[in-house]
Structures are given as C-alpha cells and as structure tokens.
Chain A
Amino acid sequence: MKTYLATMFAGAALVAFTGMAVAHHSFAMFDQEHPQEVTGVVKEYKYTSPHSFIILEIKDKDGTAEAWNLEGGSPSALARDGWTSKSLKPGDEVQLTMEPLRSGAPGGAWNVNKIKFKDGKPIAAKTQ
C-alpha cells in the first residue's frame, strides 16, 4: 500500500507540476498569459479520451449567455486527481480559471487545479 500511494503521489505531483504541458499536443493555441476567471453553468461534461471537455455557459458583462467549449486533461489524468465521469453534471455552477483561445472565439482550456463549485466546495477532494 505504501508503494502504491507513493506511485500515485508521484503521478499526481508530475501532473500538478507540469499541468497541461504534458499533454500529447501543444496547448499554445490557448492564451496562457491571459487567463480568465469565470463562473458558469455546466451544460455538458465530457469525460472523454484523449481529452475531456466542459461545455460551460458563461454570461458576459451584459448578461448575454454563450456556451464555451473548454478542453481539459485526459480521463486517466483526471482519475489520478480523483475525478470521475460523475464529477460534474448539467446545471452545476462552477468557477474556474480558463485559458481562452487566442482567436477570441468561445473556446479554451481548464485545469483540475483551478476549478471548484460556485459555492467554493471542491469538485474532487484530491485537487483542493
């Protein structure tokens, strides 16, 4: 068990240290220098390979809602952080820091270390 936990910790540490940089493709299309903190309503949570997605409805400052396609880690990486296919469901309100597409279109990237429910509760205990 000790070895098992050590391996899990090492894996989690690697993911936490390197974040999305360890992905199989570059995340440079997302503007990592200008992250945005947003709150929105989950329309769909796709626990899919090779990357997960959250379809998040976000209201702009004028109150107009728009659905954003936000790419996250792989299911295996999410699982190491305690996430499952049931971690989010439609209607959940979350706050997260996303890195938007450089083009300004409603797409971006999210990270397990920078997301929680709107009321501040953690989504998965391991990542808080």
Chain B
Amino acid sequence: MVRPGSVSTFTLRVAPLLAALCIPIAGAAAEDSKYPDLKGQWNRTFVPRWTVGQEKPPLTPEYQKVYEANLADMANGGPGNVPSWYCLPQGMPMMMNAYDPMEVIVAPETTYILISHVNDSYRRIYTDGRKWPDPETTLPVFSGYSIGKWIDEDGDGKYDVLEVETRFIRAPHTYDAQGIPFHGDNQAVIKERIYLDKADKDLLHDDITSIDHALTGPWTKNRTYKRNPNPQPVWLEEACAGDNAMVKIGNDPYFLSPDGRLMPTRKDQAPPDTRYFNRKK
C-alpha cells in the first residue's frame, strides 16, 4: 500500500500515467504482495564518492591520465568534466549517490527510481521481459536504458532481489564529483543487485558493478540507503537552471556575480570570446 504522505510530486506525475495504462502499483496491491516493501524515503548512508581515502580507481593508463587532468582542472577552478557542475543530469551511476533522498516505486512491469537532485531525475527499470532495443536506433540518455528482473532467491514465493542491467548511457558522465571518468564511447554497462538487508528491512542495498572500456576490469561498489522513519517525508523539486551560478561557455567555466555577470573561476582567466557581437553588416 502506498503510504499516505509518502507520495511526492514526482509520484503524482507518474501515478496518473500508470492508472491510464491500467498498470497496478505493486505497493497498492495486497499486503502479501510478492514484491519487497520499498516504499518511503531512502537516504544514503555513505560518502557519495566511488573512492575514499587512498583508494585508487581501476582505470586504464589512458583514462588515469584523463582522471588526473580532471583533478588538475578542478584544482585550477574548473568543473573537471563533471556534467552536473553546469546542470546536466548526473546520470548513471552517479545519480545513485543519492545526493538527495530517493524514492522507489515498484510496479509489476516497471520499477521507477526517483531522485531530485540538480534536476528531477528518474530511472525506468523495465521488468516486463522485453529484449534490448536496436543499438542503431536507440538514443543514449543520461540515466540509460535499464532492464530488470525480479529474483526469488530463497524460494519463499516472494521476490528478494531486483537484478538490473543498464546500457545506452550518454556521455559525459562520471562516478562522482571527483571526476572519475567513463570512456567516451557510450559503451558502459552498469549491473546492479537491489535488495533489502536480511536483518534490517529499513536498509536497502544496491551492489553496482560498472563495466567500461576506461576500466581495467569490472568495478563493484555497494551502496546502502536507510529508510526515513518519518511517515510523511518532504520531497523537494529541483530545477538547476533556475538558480545555478556556474556557467560553461565553450569549454570555459564561469561563476555568476550577484548582478548576473560573468566572473572568472580561474586565476588570470580570459573573458569569453565575443566575436559574434557587434558584427558589421
């Protein structure tokens, strides 16, 4: 049952669509639903980075240099190729850092993951048994194209794990705000296992494995999220473009002044190229 008060503006947008398509929301089914209870507001329990402390990302030598260039750019005041710096969606898998709370809505044919940070972002994980679409005609998008499968691991007649594979992720995207890069070929594949902790049903796990040509091999991280015990959590809308002070023109970053003018972020940074202004006819 969808708990009153746990319905966000996002849910309100999705629910009519589901109703129109006559798709029942699993949470609204009987209490003995075969799906796990994922309702509520989930808050991350971890520092939202893919590496912490002295840990090194398993990057190929080529992409280790890209990463080092990103770090150097950030140290000099730049965005380090982190797309959300200038309001692009974080995309997969960075969005699963859940910088703001996450909502999971389970329907039999699709599971929706809603996270409002930078912008209102969502994932559709198709669990309707579909095949992968034609790569030639499928447009890569920041959150990717996800196909999932519910698994009853212990044979008790209830699903325990949602296994997900995500392809067609649009570049640029990174793992976190440190700028750990993905390969630019849009061939990354993200595999996940999403499940409730066996001992704590208010703890949600997401084992995220990244497979990408910038890596020396698959890279797995476990993310955990704690359910907010408040039965009436607050959900905020986010629209980054409304108030963002960070602007990218060409490849150069700028920060807006209080009166909306461009300010440099780097020392000795040149103003933007204005060659197309005041052209003589």
- Chain A residues close to B by CB (< 8 Å): 3-4, 7, 10-11, 14, 18, 21-26, 28-29, 43-44, 46, 48-51, 53, 55, 67-69, 71, 74-76, 79, 101-107
Q: Which of A46, A49, A107 has the most CB of B within 10 A?
A: A49
Given A23-B99, A26-B79, A28-B74, A53 and B243 touching (CB < 8 A)? yes
| CB of B261 to closest CB in A, whole Å | 10
Contact of A10 among B45, B242, B269 (CB under 8 A): B45
Is the Cβ of A7 less than 8 Å from the Cβ of B77?
no
Question: For residues 211 through 270 of chain B, which have their beta carbon under 8 Å from a beta carbon of chain A?
Answer: 226, 228-230, 234, 236-240, 242-246, 253, 255-259, 263-269
Is the Cβ of B90 less than 8 Å from the Cβ of A24?
yes
Is the Cβ of A76 less than 8 Å from the Cβ of B255?
no
Given A26-B85, A29-B78, A49 and B245 touching (CB < 8 A)? no
- Chain B residues close to A by CB (< 8 Å): 43, 45, 47-49, 74-80, 82, 84-85, 90, 97, 99-101, 116-118, 177-179, 202, 226, 228-230, 234, 236-240, 242-246, 253, 255-259, 263-269
Given A53-B245, A103-B267, A107-B245, A29 and B77 touching (CB < 8 A)? yes
List B contacts of A103 (CB < 8 A): 77, 263-269
List A contacts of B80 (CB < 8 A): 26, 28
Is the Cβ of B74 less than 8 Å from the Cβ of A49?
no
List A contacts of B45 (CB < 8 A): 10, 14
Q: Which of A21, A75, A105 has the most CB of B within 10 A?
A: A105
Given A7-B43, A7-B228, A14-B47, A25 and B79 touching (CB < 8 A)? yes
